[in-house]
């Protein structure tokens, strides 16, 4: 029986693992058999995670986080959770390999998955010209004409990255202004291979065995036209991965796992959640990491209240012999 099982291996999962390990809780991290490391594994330079003035490659940052967690005693399993039972005091996690693990507490940090447009042709042509990962598939579009659908930072980064391979990159966006950060917008605007297609929604993706183009609908006047393309990269945001818990934990109207205020406590005692799976708004690596800390500290308090771990100090001042802070506000 584990004290805590952490489901997820992105910044939230690993930060929770670091803190839990340092609190001697010997966490088990279920890291996914093929998607370990989370969304940052599919990105190149991460320039906005604090502490890296030269930037750091997404996969390298995740490798470091995993090393840090393992250094303090976290155990990482490359396997997938296929079901969980959180009804009793003992939580049970069943993995794809068939292994079953029991824990006193769970940290649910499964993150978010790339959102699909949700149109015909999209699933059929997924992997045959429709892609959700520029760094993964850009290689195959050398000297081709492709499009990135989206208007946020990810779309800008993907479009800019893809100009390394493609002869032309269209950025197709529903509105006439981007929601990307200014610096990312400027980079894209300055790139001569990128052409913006404004006020356009992709309503169909064309092609038999491979993508040949898309059908665009003007979001202002409703007119339609076809655009010939060799590839379509979808970068319209992410949806929280709640399929394992949607019938077990309360969800918010946005579809994320509900947590109590700024804590990580879900609607089920002993189950805590962190990262993109609880955050419909900010969804940054560093905000996910921060929420992983919150989860680990909440787990610690939970276990201590059940008598499983020694009570942690609520305030540094308390350790120093000064008046303690009110634990309710910690």
Partner 1 sequence: MTAKATTSSTWQQDVLDADGPVLVDFWAEWCGPCRMVSPILDEIQSEHPGKITILKLNVDENPDLAMQYQITSIPAMKVFKQGQVEKTIIGAKPKFALEKDLESYIG
* Residues of this chain that bind partner 1 (CB under 8 A): 33-37, 41-42, 59, 78-80, 82, 96-97, 126-129, 131, 136-137, 139-141, 209-210, 231
Residue tagged active-site, from 60, 85, 89, 137:
137
Q: Give the residue with the Cβ less far from partner 1, 137 or 279.
A: 137
- Per-position b or e across 129-148, b if 16+ CB within 10 A of its CB: bbbbbbbebbeebeebbbbb
Q: Which is nearer to partner 1, 114 or 290 (CB)?
A: 114
137 part of the active site: yes
> Does residue 320 carry a catalytic annotation?
no
Active site residue 133: yes
Residue 275 tokens read as 């990262």
Residue 287 is given by DSSP the state H
Residue closer to partner 1, measured from CB, 139 or 189 = 139
The secondary structure of residue 150, as a DSSP letter, is -
With b for 16 or more beta-carbon neighbours within 10 A and e for fewer, the 181-220 pattern comes to: eeebbebbeebebbebbbebbbebbbbeeebebbbbbeee
Residue 127 CB, shortest distance to partner 1, in Å, is 3
- Shortest distance (Å) from residue 4 CB to partner 1: 23
Question: Minimum distance from CB of 246 to partner 1 (Å)?
Answer: 20
Inter-residue contact 296 to 23 (CB < 8 Å): yes
Place of tokens 């004290």: 3
The token pair at 304 is 């201590």
Alpha carbon 71 to chain centroid distance?
Answer: 24
**Of the listed 133, 204, 218, 239, which one is catalytic?**
133
85, 89, 136, 176: the active-site residue: 136
Q: Which of 20, 9, 24, 2 is nearest to 66 (CA)?
A: 9
Residue in 272, 257, 228, 277 with CA at minimum distance from that of residue 27 = 272
The nearer residue to partner 1, 1 or 34, going by C-beta atoms, is 34
Q: C-beta of 27: minimal distance to partner 1 in Å?
A: 22
CB of 241 to partner 1, least distance (A): 14
- Which of 115, 128 has the CB closer to partner 1? 128
Q: Which residues are catalytic?
A: 133, 136-137
């Amino acid at each position: 029986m584990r004290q805590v099982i952490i489901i997820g291996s992105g910044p939230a999962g690993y930060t929770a693992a670091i803190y839990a390990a340092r609190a001697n809780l010997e966490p088990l991290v279920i890291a996914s058999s093929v998607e370990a490391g989370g969304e940052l594994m599919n990105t190149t330079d991460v320039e906005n995670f604090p502490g890296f003035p030269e930037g750091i490659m997404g996969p390298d940052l995740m490798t470091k986080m995993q090393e840090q967690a393992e250094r303090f005693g976290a155990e990482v399993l490359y396997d997938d959770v296929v079901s969980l039972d959180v009804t009793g005091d003992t939580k049970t996690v069943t993995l794809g390999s068939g292994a079953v693990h029991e824990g006193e507490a769970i940290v649910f940090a499964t993150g978010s998955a790339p959102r699909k447009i949700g149109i015909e042709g999209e699933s059929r042509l997924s992997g045959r010209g429709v892609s959700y990962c520029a760094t993964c598939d850009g290689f195959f579009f050398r000297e081709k004409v492709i499009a990135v659908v989206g208007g946020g930072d990810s779309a800008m980064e993907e479009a800019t990255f893809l100009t390394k391979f493609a002869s032309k990159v269209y950025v197709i966006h529903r509105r006439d202004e981007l929601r990307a950060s200014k610096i990312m917008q400027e980079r894209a605007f300055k790139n001569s291979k990128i052409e913006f297609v404004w006020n356009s929604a992709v309503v169909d993706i064309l092609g038999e065995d491979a993508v040949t183009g898309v059908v665009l609908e003007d979001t202002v006047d409703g007119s339609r036209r076809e655009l010939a393309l060799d590839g379509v990269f979808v970068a319209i945001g992410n949806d929280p991965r709640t399929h394992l818990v949607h019938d077990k934990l309360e969800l918010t109207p946005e579809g994320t796992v509900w947590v109590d205020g700024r804590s990580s406590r879900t609607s089920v005692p002993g189950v805590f959640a962190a990262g993109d799976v609880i955050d419909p708004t900010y969804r940054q690596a560093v905000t996910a990491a921060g929420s992983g800390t919150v989860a680990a500290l909440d787990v610690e308090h939970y276990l201590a209240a059940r008598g499983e771990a020694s009570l942690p100090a609520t305030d540094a001042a308390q350790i120093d012999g000064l008046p303690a802070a009110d634990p309710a506000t910690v």
